[in-house]
Structure 1
Amino acid sequence: MTVSTPPTVSTASAASTVSAASAAADAILRRQRARESSARTYARSFPVVPARAYGMTVEGCDGRRYLDCLSGAGTLALGHNHPVVTEAVRRTLESGAPLHALDLATPQKDEFTDALFATLPPAFADRARIHFCGPAGTDAVEAALKLMQTATGRQGLLAFTGAYHGMTAGALAVSGGVAVKRPVPGLAADVTRLPYPYSYRCPFGVGGERGAELSAAYAERLLDDPKGGVVPPAAMILEPVQGEGGAVPAPDGWLRAMRRITAERGIPLIVDEVQTGVGRTGAFWAVEHSGVVPDAMVMSKAIGGSLPLAVVVYREDYDVWAPGAHTGTFRGNTLAMAAGAATLRYVAREGLVGRAAEVGARMAARLDALRGALPAIGDVRGRGLMIGVELVDPEGPPDSCGARPPAPGTADRVRAACLERGLIVELGGRYDATVRLLPPLVITDEEAEAVLDRLADAIAAVTCGRDGGGGGVRAGAARRDTGRPA
């Protein structure tokens, strides 16, 4: 009997295929540079053309695979193309449901609202109303600010250093970044900026619990000072963990102080959970760590199950809007509501909140343990699977809290070295010197170890002159990142 053997692919043929795929990807990137706005951001840092993605793995057009620790800036709670999400989308498409419904009631919206309210702190959910916004978090921030200004009849706002709330006018005004606001005169005229507790680079130069205490005392005394220059404001807005600000968590005691200070003075408290929500920090909503019940919560990113969706949920006492007071065409994203409801229920059912707390603590501990061997690691912080590694100049002079000067150039090179090793990470924080890790909540132990191995190797290569790295892991090659198909 003749045994047939499978045809072999020559090395030259395989190399030719890879070369053609790389050329096609390069051509797409060239067209993007030629046609898209100069304001594009992630595309500048990651010259990757994703073709397929599953879980935590992204495969480019050229066949290289990467572990994705950006997760759509925290949008992908379940990673890419999770079966729960794709099934919800498929089921909705096959049902014939309207994909666009403005703000009409639909079964999908009703189901999403039920699923969302089931995750909220009962003391908040029992007296809450929801408003569906345009499909980006920045519009939900705008809605929350406008709502409180309408309800209180006041205009001014309290916001914090290091904050990021979005890029539309009101959201940008309460954000901390100076560079993007500089060209817009008068943008933040009605915003009073308060110091956010940032232990490593404490605004008061003391750090730790004392820094948080001073931050709270400063806010309280400023508001009560008849010569302090602050007219009674319409609201205070804050992030329980600053994301773009460098994964800086607010101490629970400080959050409770902000709630007391605002409640005693009749100032509505808005908590921005756009990036911290849906289990990211090891609680379903980050504000739950402190036990604080806000007057409004802004939500987006992960609530849509990877599709665009944004809402503001607030105490019914503030529901004073006239019809059409905050509107928008794309508030009725049926697919996002179906995917979001499925995601919210899966996260709760599968215990992914506790999983985020456990894996995040383990990853942070290992990174912190590297500080002795890699002195460029100045600080490791965060909460759950929202981790920041601030890189510094280890030879630079320390400040009063012992922090060395930030090293944005080092961080930029580390990000590039991570990409060479098949790992996607982004930067944030002051001077973009903090490497941020936002893996999906479904990250496996093996993937977590691979992320840490690659990041540590990238930092060592950049700061200790080690060689190594190379292209992302080729599809089909032996790898530690995942055992699942991409």
Structure 2
Amino acid sequence: MTLTVDTATPAGDGILRRQRIRESAARTYARSFPIVPVRAHGMTVEGADGRRYLDCLSGAGTLALGHNHPVVLDAIRRTLDSGAPLHLLDLATAEKDDFTTALFESLPREFAERARVHFCGPAGTDAVEAALKLTQTATGRRGALAFTGAYHGMTAGALAVTGSVAVKEPLPGGGEVTRLPYPYPYRCPFGVGGERGAELSAAYTERLLDDPSGGVVPPAAMILEAVQGEGGVVPAPDGWLRAMRRITAERRIPLIVDEVQTGVGRTGAMWAVEHSGILPDAMVLSKAIGGSLPLAVVVYREEYDGWRPGAHTGTFRGNTLAMAAGAATLRYVAANGLVERAALAGARMAARLDGLKGRLPVIGDVRGRGLMLGVELVDPAGEPDGCGALPADPALAVRVREACLERGLIVELGGRHDAVLRLLPPLTITDEQVEAVLDRLADAIEHAARAAA
């Protein structure tokens, strides 16, 4: 079901029409939000029709400071006015040196002290490719351990370790990947839920790797997300993450943590690994580190730096403007308490959503960490599974998303059945905006639920 929004202006109508004609069938967000943004500031996006929207998508988590934040614009203008070269492959520049300094200052100290950084192509998926290639080079092995529900990107290696069957089905082969159960309390892969499900996941992983007839050849790496984003905003329990670190360390398997969406304060810590205290062997970073511009890196322990020159290269590894904007963003987040702000605002939103769950049976689960929240919508008339989870209701989720847009709220879907409303507001969200988002969301869910009854 597609919502048709009257853009009210010939220009807006024409742009949408030409997009439908010219762009590929693979476009996604444009199908969910048929609007033509013309201006944006902070959390507010204005369309060509003059309507304003509160943006709870934030470029899929890219816009830590929201749209066109002054500190980002100032960094870009200063760089442009300085005459600095905007493209220099991987040559050393003052902007790259400053970004690297800001990045290392933001990382867990013990990790940063013995780390190297590799600048990748401008998307997170290339950084995943680089991390996998790095560990394959260092270990001499080929396979990887990955998890159900994972999302790591759309290029071949990243897609192989991604969990979604829908995006993998059209492609030949999936690489040498062993799929492991990710703890998901609401829809527990072991049918028990809660802490016990996480314990069983860790026990299963350990025993599988040690079983000489388990069919798993020693892998080059394990890759995981501390909070699965596209997989439905499922946070990994801290104890489970510590278990994964112990299991991989004892077996000399490099641990890669994908922080593309969770980084730069999103979860209420600068980096999501800090909640559990683990130190991975490699971290994949993108999205918010570029201050709204394309930038991706992999940071890793220096002993893994066994690459030959040109082993993983690309034309657009030196985005000067993104480095300037990214350094400014990293320092602004740290200096202005936005990590703590994300934790407090996220807890406030989660508490109210939990209250909403108590009176709206179509809300099956509310979860997340910091300003990375998910609301799973279900069919209350359906048959619960062994853990009490009701069937997902993706059709209702689509109607809620449309109702949100009608009310001036941009919210996207995710999760195993595309039935999870995902909230990724900027870290700069105000208390008034928190209330406005929750009011509009609650009204949209009630409206869509009534219409479905």
In the superposition, the TM-score normalised over structure 1's length comes to 0.91
Indicate which of 338, 345, 354 corresponds to 1:359: 345
Q: Which amino acid is 1:448 matched to?
A: V
**CA shift digits 1:106-140 (9 cap, x unpaired):** 00000000000001001100000000000000000
* 1:295 matched residue in structure 2: 281
Please report how far the alpha carbon of residue 265 of structure 1 lies from its aligned counterpart in structure 2 after TM superposition.
0.1
Change (3 A) 1:102 1:20: closer
Tell me how large the CA RMSD over aligned residues is.
1.2
* 2:386 matched residue in structure 1: 400
CA distance in 1, matches of 2:71, 2:172: 46
* 2:165 matched residue in structure 1: 178
**CA shift digits 1:328-369 (9 cap, x unpaired):** 000010000000000000000000000000000110110011
- 1:189 is aligned to 2:154: no
Q: Which amino acid is 1:459 matched to?
A: I
* 1:253 matched residue in structure 2: 239
- 1:43 is aligned to 2:24: no
Please report how far the alpha carbon of residue 410 of structure 1 lies from its aligned counterpart in structure 2 after TM superposition.
0.2
* 2:77 matched residue in structure 1: 90
* 1:439 matched residue in structure 2: 425
CA distance in 2, matches of 1:89, 1:245: 34
Give the total of aligned pairs.
449
Q: Which amino acid is 1:388 matched to?
A: G
Q: Which amino acid is 1:244 matched to?
A: E
CA distance in 2, matches of 1:329, 1:246: 33
Contact kept, 8 Å, 2:120 with 2:317, in 1: the verdict is yes
SS at 1:91's partner residue?
helix
SS at 1:51's partner residue?
strand
Please report how far the alpha carbon of residue 179 of structure 1 lies from its aligned counterpart in structure 2 after TM superposition.
1.3
**CA shift digits 1:261-306 (9 cap, x unpaired):** 0000000000000000000000000000000000000000000000
Contact kept, 8 Å, 2:7 with 2:48, in 1: the verdict is no
Indicate which of 117, 126, 130 corresponds to 1:130: 117
1:304-315 equivalences in 2 (<5 Å): 304-315=290-301
* 1:333 matched residue in structure 2: 319
1:55-454 equivalences in 2 (<5 Å): 55-186=42-173, 188-454=174-440
User: Unmatched 5+ residue regions in structure 1?
Assistant: 1-17, 468-486
Contact kept, 8 Å, 1:460 with 1:466, in 2: the verdict is no
Contact kept, 8 Å, 1:277 with 1:286, in 2: the verdict is yes
CA distance in 1, matches of 2:194, 2:370: 20
CA distance in 2, matches of 1:454, 1:391: 16
Contact kept, 8 Å, 1:124 with 1:293, in 2: the verdict is yes
* 1:484 matched residue in structure 2: none
Please report how far the alpha carbon of residue 154 of structure 1 lies from its aligned counterpart in structure 2 after TM superposition.
0.1
User: Unmatched 5+ residue regions in structure 2?
Assistant: none
CA distance in 1, matches of 2:408, 2:419: 20
CA distance in 1, matches of 2:337, 2:271: 14
SS at 1:230's partner residue?
coil
CA distance in 1, matches of 2:128, 2:422: 23
Bigger Cα Rg: 1
SS at 2:183's partner residue?
coil
CA distance in 2, matches of 1:154, 1:432: 35
Contact kept, 8 Å, 2:7 with 2:13, in 1: the verdict is no
CA distance in 2, matches of 1:428, 1:258: 25
Q: Which amino acid is 1:456 matched to?
A: A
Q: Percent identity?
A: 81
**CA shift digits 1:223-280 (9 cap, x unpaired):** 0000000000000000000000010000000000000000000000000000000000
Change (3 A) 1:466 1:199: closer
Q: Which amino acid is 1:33 matched to?
A: R
Contact kept, 8 Å, 2:7 with 2:35, in 1: the verdict is no
Q: Which amino acid is 1:193 matched to?
A: R
Contact kept, 8 Å, 1:397 with 1:404, in 2: the verdict is yes
Structure 1 residue runs of 4 or more that deviate by more than 4 Å after TM superposition: 18-21
SS at 1:338's partner residue?
helix
Q: Which amino acid is 1:64 matched to?
A: R
SS at 1:172's partner residue?
helix
CA distance in 2, matches of 1:110, 1:448: 37
Contact kept, 8 Å, 1:282 with 1:384, in 2: the verdict is yes
Q: Which amino acid is 1:410 matched to?
A: L
SS at 2:309's partner residue?
coil
Please report how far the alpha carbon of residue 19 of structure 1 lies from its aligned counterpart in structure 2 after TM superposition.
8.4
Indicate which of 9, 16, 22 corresponds to 1:29: 16
Contact kept, 8 Å, 2:157 with 2:175, in 1: the verdict is no
CA distance in 1, matches of 2:79, 2:410: 32
CA distance in 1, matches of 2:247, 2:266: 27
Please report how far the alpha carbon of residue 180 of structure 1 lies from its aligned counterpart in structure 2 after TM superposition.
1.5
Please report how far the alpha carbon of residue 465 of structure 1 lies from its aligned counterpart in structure 2 after TM superposition.
3.5
- 1:54 is aligned to 2:41: yes
CA distance in 1, matches of 2:22, 2:327: 36
